[in-house]
Amino acid sequence: MTDRFVDISLDKRGVRCTAKLLDDLAPITCSAVWDALPLGGDVYHAKYARNEIYALFPAFADAEPPLENPTVTPIPGDLCYFSFAGTQLATGSHGYSADHVRQDRPTIVDLALFYERNNLLLNGDQGWVPGIVWGAVVEGLDRMADACQDLWRAGAVGETLSFRRD
């Protein structure tokens, strides 16, 4: 198979990076994401995992991918896929809008970018939260990390995280 790449951007800040899909390690997840592109949504900065930005989407795969190429310690440049039951994110500590935690939406997909080291996927409400590593940033991580730090300090309101085929 030919290598496939995804463009990840913080649209308002005009910053982007490029990631290679890890088709050899997470083929089912890569296919599900690739087939769903383009995707974009409000960006969030992690509270628990540390150096992570992500967007939430309604489930888009025919069936949720199995836990292939899992981690609880993502490294800089990892793209991770998480799926949650809508009610898992419904606690006040998460702070999501009612649109993200609707009872009629059984699965929510979280596509995340880890931009710095020392991440640990341990959530006070949920415990260990393993993610599927489906991509690795190969270009532009330094610029993206700077923008993520700005997002952490200045706020995420009005910013969109987008994933597109490169």
CA distance 90 to 3: 38
pLDDT at res. 155 = 92
pLDDT at res. 47 = 80
Q: What is the tens place of the pLDDT at every residue in 13-22?
A: 999 999 999 9
Task: Tell which wins on pLDDT, 166 or 133.
Answer: 133
CA torsion, ordered 81, 82, 83, 89, to nearest 10 deg: -140
pLDDT at res. 93 = 47
Provide the sign of the torsion angle of the four alpha carbons 61, 135, 162, 112, taken in this order. Answer: positive
pLDDT at res. 91 = 53
Name the H helices within the chain. 27-36, 141-154
Confidence of residue 85 (pLDDT cuts 50, 70, 90): confident
Give the CB-side neighbour count of residue 63, counting CA atoms within 13 A. 4
Q: What is the tens place of the pLDDT at every residue in 50-75?
A: 999 999 999 999 999 999 999 999 99
Residue 23 confidence (pLDDT) above 60? yes
DSSP 124: T
pLDDT at res. 105 = 59
- Interior/surface letters 103-118, b for 16+ CB within 10 angstroms, e for the rest: eeeeebbbbbbbbeee
Whether this model's pTM surpasses 0.85: yes
pLDDT at res. 124 = 77
Q: What is the tens place of the pLDDT at every residue in 90-125?
A: 555 455 555 555 556 578 899 999 999 999 998 877
pLDDT at res. 127 = 87
Mention every residue, 6+ apart, whose C-beta is less than 8 A from residue 107: 58, 59, 64, 83, 84, 85, 86
